């Protein structure tokens, strides 16, 4: 049970940080320093976590937490693709 609580805490901590990144990107409308590959790797990691729980058939109550985190990372990734042109245009004009 302790491992489940610690896994939930890890997922919660990671998930709690994404809204701040999303808000910052949305407000600035810039993605300087963001890496879409990092976000994709994080999503793959979350999908592997879900797969592990589905294969084991245990701790399925954590799957919605993983899905929430994937949604948050995907939102940040979508903002990256939405605003990357803004950052590129600023670089060219500088």
Kindly list the domain boundaries of the chain, sorted by start residue. Answer: 36-94
State mean pLDDT over 34-45: 96
Q: How far is CA 75 from CA 33, 81, 83, in A?
A: 17, 10, 12
pLDDT confidence tier of residue 90, bands split at 50, 70 and 90: low
pLDDT confidence tier of residue 85, bands split at 50, 70 and 90: confident
| Residue 48: per-residue pLDDT | 97
| Residue 93: per-residue pLDDT | 58
The runs of H, that is alpha helices, within the chain are 2-28, 36-56, 63-93
Residue predicted with more confidence, 1 or 82: 82
Residue 91 DSSP one-character state: H
């Amino acid at each position: 049970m302790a491992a489940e609580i610690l896994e939930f805490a890890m997922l919660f901590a990671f998930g709690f940080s994404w809204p701040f990144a999303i808000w910052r990107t949305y407000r600035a409308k810039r993605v300087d320093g963001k890496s879409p590959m990092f976000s994709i790797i994080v999503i793959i990691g979350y999908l592997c976590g879900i797969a592990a729980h589905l294969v084991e058939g245990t701790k399925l109550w954590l799957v919605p937490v993983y899905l929430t985190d994937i949604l948050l990372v995907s939102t940040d990734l979508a903002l990256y693709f939405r605003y990357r042109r803004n950052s590129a245009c600023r670089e060219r004009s500088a």
